[in-house]
């Protein structure tokens, strides 16, 4: 895929660790994923509501979830997790493509949706990406998922492609300085 990126970088992202209170008054900690988180993430995705899957992920069986997480949690990827009362409730991943850019995706457990956790998680992950010297981030989102499109636009993503079922959106980060 040849992704177009906006010329103007978006700034103002803070990396992990961060803490915030969500719209429901829950204390959420956002931090980088460590190898100790793998089992808890598997559990989060096993519990994930199938209707909230996006383009085939997360996979539906535990075996497939583990295989998928192997890719997502690989060394060259960036992962940020939102933790409430000791367990992960949201997860942002940035996985490198073959062109030096990173694909972003986010999943938030159903009970934690609609409380601005997604926005905070994505912003924190972008802060981490900027800290790591990443400049180009893209994602795809299903056309009919207007809440997600609005969320990404608010963060600063721009629509860069809609040749297919999915919309493509991308964002440029400022070089870290």
Partner 1 sequence: MRLIVGVDGSEDAMTALEAVTSRARETGDEVTVAVYSHNDSTADVEHTVREQLLAADFDASVMTLEDDPAGQLVDIAETEGYDRIVLSGGHRSPLGKIQLDSVLEFVLLNAHTTVTLIR
Minimum Å gap between C-beta 162 and partner 1 is 10
> Nearer Cβ to partner 1, position 73 or 115?
73
Cα Rg of the chain, angstroms: 15
Considering the complex, state which of residue 82 and residue 84 has its C-beta at the smaller distance from partner 1. 82
Residues interacting with partner 1, by CB under 8 A? 1, 54-57, 59, 68, 71-72, 77, 93, 95-98, 103, 105, 140, 163-166
Task: CB nearer to partner 1: give 104 or 115.
Answer: 104
156 CA to centre of own chain: 14
Smallest gap from residue 21 Cβ to partner 1 (A): 29
Instruction: Provide the minimum distance between the beta carbon of 105 and partner 1 in the complex, in angstroms, as a whole number.
Output: 5
CA 96 remoteness from chain centre? 13
Is residue 166 within 8 Å of 149, Cβ to Cβ? no
Q: Rounded to 5, what percent of the chain is helix, strand, coil?
A: 30, 30, 40
């Amino acid at each position: 895929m040849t992704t177009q990126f906006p010329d103007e970088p978006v700034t103002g992202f803070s990396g992990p660790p961060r803490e915030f209170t969500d719209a429901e008054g829950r204390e959420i900690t956002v931090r980088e994923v460590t190898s100790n988180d793998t089992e808890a993430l598997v559990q989060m995705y096993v519990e994930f509501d199938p209707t909230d899957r996006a383009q085939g992920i997360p996979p539906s069986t535990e075996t497939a979830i583990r295989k998928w997480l192997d890719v997502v949690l690989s060394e060259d990827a960036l992962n940020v997790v939102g933790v409430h009362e000791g367990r992960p409730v949201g997860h942002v991943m940035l996985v490198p493509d073959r062109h030096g850019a990173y694909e972003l995706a986010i999943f938030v457990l159903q009970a934690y949706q609609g409380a601005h956790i997604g926005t905070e998680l994505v912003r924190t992950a972008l802060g981490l990406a900027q800290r790591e010297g990443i400049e180009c981030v893209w994602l795809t989102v299903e056309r009919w998922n207007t809440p997600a499109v609005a969320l990404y636009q608010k963060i600063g993503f721009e629509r860069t492609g809609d040749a297919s079922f999915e919309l493509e959106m991308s964002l440029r980060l400022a070089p870290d300085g």
